[in-house]
Amino acid sequence: MKAVVAGASGGIGQPLSLLLKACPLVDHLSLYDVVNTPGVTADLSHISSVAKIEGFLPADDGMKKAFTGADMVVIPAGIPRKPGMTRDDLFKINAGIVKGLVEGIAEHCPEAYILVISNPVNSTVPIAAEVLTNAGKFNPKKLFGVTTLDVVRAETFVQAITGAKDPADTKIPVIGGHSGETIVPLFSQAKPEVKIPEDKLDELTKRVQFGGDEVVKAKDGAGSATLSMAYAGFRFAERVMQAAKGKSGIVEPTFVYLPGIEGGDAIAKETGCKYFSVPVELGKEGAVKANNPLGMANEYEKKLLQACYEGLKGNIEKGVEFVKNPP
C-alpha cells in the first residue's frame, strides 16, 4: 500500500502523516506539499515503523514522483478558515488547488483511492469528479469526501448525554454534506439506541453542524481543526485500506457521487443531489454500496434534510461549474 498525503506539511497534513507512518497497513508513505516536505519527511523517517517514507516539493517533477504508483491519495491541501469565515469562503483558493492535484492524480495514479479533506468538501469533491471525467479516469467508487470528523464529533458530543464509556461505541450516521446546515446527524438511528431529551436535541444537532466553529474561534486566527481532523482522516483512510486488503463489513459515512455506486441512484432521486454523504459499504473496489437511511429519519430529521438539500445543491453546482466554465 503506497499512501500519499498531498498537503503534508500543513496543520492536518503533519499529524495525519504521523498516523499513517505509524500504521502497519502502509508500506510506503509519500509526502507532497509546496513547502517544507524535506523537514517533515526527515523528522518522520526516524520513526521505527515499516512504512518507507519519501517527501517531494513541486520542483524536479516532484508531483509525478510523489504520486506514481500510489494506491491512496489523501488531500488536506489548501487554506483553512479564520474566524467569521464559512467553508464556502475558502472556495476561491482551494478549488484551484484541488483541481491541480487531481489533474496530477489523473495523470500519475488514476487507480488510486482519492480522499478529499480540503474544504469546501461539498464543492471540492464535484471538482475532483469533473477533472477525472475530463481525463477519462473517473471511477466513482474510488472518490471520497472525508466527512468522518462530523461522525467523530457526533459520537463525542452525544456521550455527554449517554454517559457511554467509549464514545466510539455509539454509531451515529451523519449524512448530507460537510458544512453547517448540510450536516445532518441522524440520532434516531444511533446504534445502540440513544435517548436524547427533547430540550437537548436542537443544541446537540447544532453543535455537530457547527462544531468546527468552536475550534476556529478558540484558535483565534490560527486556523481550524487539525488534530481532530487528522484523527478522523486517518480513521477513514485506515478503513479504506482495511477494505482494500479484503476485510468485509466496513460501513462508513462518506461524501460520494451517488449515481456511480450501487444503491446510490435511489438516494440521488430522493434528495435531488448527485453527491451526498451516506453510510457506504467499503470493499476492495472502494465504495461498493450506498445504504439509504432517509426512509427511517424522523420528522425532526426530515426538516433538517430539507435545509440540507437546498444548501448542498448550490455547493455541488458551484464545484461542477468551476471546472466546466473556469472563471
| Residues designated as active site | 150, 178
Closer residue to ligand NAI in complex, CB, 229/243: 229
Smallest gap from Cβ 37 to ligand NAI, in A, equals 9
Q: Quick one: which of 169, 235, 161, 144 has its CA closest to 205?
A: 161
Handedness of CA 46, 48, 49, 50 (dihedral sign): positive
Question: Is 78 near ligand NAI (CB under 6 A)?
Answer: yes
Angle ∠(313,104,140) on CA atoms, nearest 5: 40
* Piece of 26-34, 156-164, 282-290, 317-325 that binds ligand NAI (CB under 6 A): 26-34
CB 88 → ligand NAI: shortest distance, Å? 11
9 binds ligand NAI (CB under 6 A): yes
By the 8 A CB rule, do 296 and 188 touch?
Answer: yes
**Distances in Å between the alpha carbon of 43 and those of 16, 36, 47?**
14, 11, 8
Q: Name which of 121 and 244 has its Cβ closer to ligand NAI.
A: 121
Cα–chain-centroid distance for residue 17?
15
Residue 173 CB, shortest distance to ligand NAI, in Å, is 16
Site string for ligand NAI, 157-196 (x = CB under 6 A): ---------------------x------------------
Contact 189, 293 (CB under 8 A): yes
Residue 20 grid cell: 499513517
Is the distance from CB of 275 to CB of 255 less than 8 angstroms?
yes
* CA triple 275-277-280, angle to 5 deg: 110
Query: Contact letters (x/-) for ligand NAI, 239-278, by CB under 6 A?
Result: ----------------------------------------
Q: Which residues bind ligand NAI (CB under 6 A)?
A: 6-7, 9-13, 32-35, 76-81, 90, 94, 97, 100-101, 117-119, 121, 146, 149, 178, 223-226, 229
